[in-house]
Structure formats: structure tokens, C-alpha cells
Amino acid sequence: MKKTLGVLMVFVAVCLAAIGLSDVFLSAGNIERLLLRIGLFSILAIGVSFVIVTGGIDLSIGSVVCLVGCGLPWLLVEQGWSVGLTLTVLFLVVGLIGWGHGMLITKLKLQPFVVTLCGLLVYRGLVRGVTGDRSLGFGSEYESLRQLAQGELAPSLLLGVLAVVLAGVAVYGWMKERRFRAGVVASSVAAGLAVLGAVLLRQSEFGVKFPFVILMVVAGLAGVFLNLTVWGRHLLALGNSEEAARFSGIATDRLVIVSYILCALLAGLGGLLIVLDVGSAQPSDFGNFYELYAIAAAVIGGCSLRGGQGAVIGVVVGMALIQVIRNLIVLVIPKYQNLEFAVIGVVILLGVIGDEVFKRLAEKRRRLT
């Protein structure tokens, strides 16, 4: 919770800086695009957070995004498959990819870094080979399917949904934490609603794309799974100490496999929404470096690369922070927008350093008590 509040305060500070430095930041079009990117990339980040909680890593996210993003128009347009069959086959393949990663890591005891790095190369290579490395798209077809990513929700309705979700967060904080912390959570919720309400009332002419709404559903389900179920607690225990978790009777191998399957499925969902939004995909670069966005958001949001720690809300706020920083670079210093990946690299490094410092301070405090 402390890490999440810290990231939230940084996010608010960066937003205020963006408002002061650019008159375009609060424009309807910019806010709409910003929420869209937060929705699309946060889904990927939530997926990788399950893996990071176990102490693992998944470097193949971008290639899985490419597989689904290129496979969808290739099967629909060029092979003439039905929508239902295409989606079923794609997500079965993606689920098998996650299962394969988990099996190689748990049964053959291979390093997650090596397994998923090989996946990064293999999946993109297969897509490029099968499709002939050609650009793939929907053309003017499948407009109803593309509404899954391009459809919009009225801001007033979104505000109501967010109010309910954030109220639930406040209630959960009151139930799980001390009253002081619950007060901080409630205050943060109220401040967030006030700022969001002001922005939405000012920019009432824009709509919120469906991927952001889908993100809310995914984040809610992921939060319930991680915090309110036995499997979620076991996942956190596994990340803290796999050996201790195994001796406690927890099916550690099964949980690791499930975490990689969830990561792959959410990467597939993200790839589906992204290609439906942009309308076309090039196998050579579609999804490139997306794993960096996801891992950076997870680390910034409170997931320890050592495992055992993770908060879904923190991951979403972390991705929002990354996207606002990226947007700020584009708006304020557009000629230096290629520095985007350098900024992400620095953010990941600072997140890892912060995690290490926090670990040492916590250990020192425990020794003193």
C-alpha cells in the first residue's frame, strides 16, 4: 500500500507538471488517446505482474502480442476463417504457450529468462515466416469486431463506475489496514475522483475507449484473485519462498504454470485489442519492446523482481505514470521523443534501486525491533 501511494503521488506530480508545461495535455483528443494507451498496456502489465510475483519473468510478451495481432487479420481476411473459430484457436495457442513456459520452468528447471527469451525469438520468427513478413490488415471489413477496441463509453458513466470501484478500494483498505491507512486510502480516492470529475466535466465531448473499460474489469478480477482468494495468497507465499511454500503443502509448480498461462492470455488479449484499434500489423515490428512497458509498470507499481510482492492498483498507476511521461516528452520536446526508451530504461533502473533500498531499510528496522 505504501508503494502504491508513493507512485500515485509521483503520478499526480507529473500530471500537474504536464498541465503546466503544455496547453494540449488536457485537450479532449489527448486525454482520450492517453486513456486508450493506459488501458491497452496496463492489461499487458497486469499479466506479467502475476509472473513477477512468483519470482519469474516473461520476455516473450511482445512476440505473443505480434502472434495474435498478425494472426487475427491473417486468419480472418486471408484464410477466410470465422470470427469465433479464429478467436478460439488464437487463445488456445496463446494458452498453450503459457503452459509450455510453465512446464519448461517447473519440470525441466530451466531459467524463466532463457525460456521466455527463446519464446521472444521463436514466436515472432514463426509469424514472419508463415505470413511472408507482409503487412496484414482488415481493410474496410470487420467493423463490428473492431468496435471492441474503437467503441466509446460516455465519461459520465465511466465516472460512476470508477466511483464504485474506488469506493470498494476504500472499504477494502478499511477492512484490511489500520484506520490511519484507511483514511489515507479514502482521501486518495476522494482526491482522485475530484480531479477526474473536473477533467471529465471540462472535456465532456470526448469518449472513453472500450479498452480502458476492459482494463477496469481485468484489474478488478486480478485484484480479487491476488488479494481475496487462497490461490492469490499462495502465489504471494510462493514468491517469498518457494521451498517454504512447498513444505507448507502448496502446489508450487501448478501455481507457476497458472501464472504463465495468465500472463500469456492477457498478452493475447492486449494484442487483440491493439490490432483492432490500429487496423493493421507488420510482423517485423508489431509489439516490439512491449514487454519493457509491462515490466517497467509492474516494477514501478510495487512488484518486486525477487517475487512475493505485487499490487494490481500499483501496476495500473505505474503504467499510467509511464504513459504520461511518454506523452509529456512528445508534447513538450517532440524533437527528442526518441528518448522514450531511454526514459523507460531509467525508470526501470530507479524502480529496482528503490526496491533494493526499501528491502534493506525494512530488514534493518526488523533487526532493531
pLDDT digits (tens, 9 = 90+) for 38-52: 999 999 999 999 999
In this predicted structure, the answer to whether residue 108 has a pLDDT above a threshold of 80 is yes
What is the pLDDT at residue 198?
54
What is the pLDDT at residue 167?
61
- State mean pLDDT over 276-286: 92
In this predicted structure, the answer to whether residue 345 has a pLDDT above a threshold of 80 is no
pLDDT classification of 98: cutoffs 50, 70, 90: very high
- State mean pLDDT over 138-153: 86
- Least confident window among 89-98, 133-142, 198-207, 232-241: 198-207
pLDDT classification of 276: cutoffs 50, 70, 90: very high
In this predicted structure, the answer to whether residue 173 has a pLDDT above a threshold of 60 is no
CA–CA dist 293, 285 (Å, integer): 15
What is the pLDDT at residue 130?
93
- State mean pLDDT over 232-238: 88
In this predicted structure, the answer to whether residue 175 has a pLDDT above a threshold of 50 is yes
Domains in the chain: boundaries: 2-154+207-368
Instruction: Please give the CATH number for the structural domain made up of 2-154+207-368.
Output: 1.10.3470
- State mean pLDDT over 337-359: 73
What is the pLDDT at residue 204?
54
The mean pLDDT of the chain is: 84
What is the pLDDT at residue 156?
61
- State mean pLDDT over 129-140: 90
Parallel, antiparallel, or unpaired for β 280-281 and 208-209?
unpaired
In this predicted structure, the answer to whether residue 188 has a pLDDT above a threshold of 80 is no
- State mean pLDDT over 174-181: 53
What is the pLDDT at residue 180?
47
What is the pLDDT at residue 216?
87
pLDDT classification of 193: cutoffs 50, 70, 90: low
